[in-house]
Homo-oligomer: A and B are copies of this chain.
Amino acid sequence: MAARTTQRKERMRQATLAEIRATARRLLVEHGSAAVTVNAVAREMGLSGPALYHYYAGHEELVGALVADFYRELAQAMAAARDARAGEPPAVRLLAACRAMRAWAVGHPAEFGWIFASPGPPRAERSADSPRHQAGLEFEQVVLEPFVELWETSPFPVPELDALDPSLREQLRAYSAGLGGRLPPEAAHTFLTCWIRLYGLLCMEVLHQLDFAFTDLEPVYEECLRELAAALGQEYRPPEPGR
């Protein structure tokens, strides 16, 4: 078969795959999690049910592909915010990326909801080489980068390793090693502490776990950022209304 022909067919296939994901996403956003069924997506595209199985092996794989998209889109939004501040101090870039994370999450609650609580099988039986998992790793890198940058230019305060619980110390060592030495265990601890507070807050907001007390979490998030800046020994700068 001519190479040209093969390429064209491949392009067509990719286009169909993309249309499937776009349709599924629209259903998710407009009608909620339960509306994203293989049948409904196919129907919506003018295909008949089983045709879709030539593109995704089943419901689960489709969901996985969507979540991977979401991870990448979120990571890209954060990277864009960071890069829009090229040349500015690392702390400013970090804050911008963190704000971009919440902006994306609040602007895409259904998608963000699937990132940390998508339907599907128990997490135990999720292969580590799935697109979903890969995208998760990419996301981790984007989150990590600003911290590494900060650490390399103006090291932030870290705890004494010996002061930490032995089990925690070991886990930090292992994680740090997996990072290829970009952050020593102590710095990894500070990074993870910050991450837990920020991302945890966002999870709670999007899962409506704070509706009992708050109607608007923007100021709560800003306050969290202020505390993180302080914990990192960095100057806090409020968001600029324009960008």
Contacts and interface: CB of A to CB of B under 8 A. Distances in A.
Contacts of A171: 213-216, 219
- Total copies of the chain: 2
A104 interface: no
A167 B204 contact: no
A223 B117 contact: no
Interface of A: 32-34, 116-117, 119, 121-123, 136-137, 140, 164-165, 167-168, 171, 175, 188, 192, 196-197, 199-201, 203-204, 207-216, 218-220, 222-223
Contacts of A175: 213-214
B117 A207 contact: yes
A192 B221 CA distance: 13
A197 B122 CA distance: 26
User: From DSSP, what is the main secondary structure of chain A's interface residues?
Assistant: helix
Contact of A140 (B196, B199, B203, B212): B212
A220 B193 CA distance: 9
Nearest to A126: B208
Contact of A196 (B33, B165, B210, B218): B210
A222 B240 CA distance: 37
A119 to B, nearest CB: 8
Given A122-B32, A171-B214, A213-B171, A165 B200 contact: no
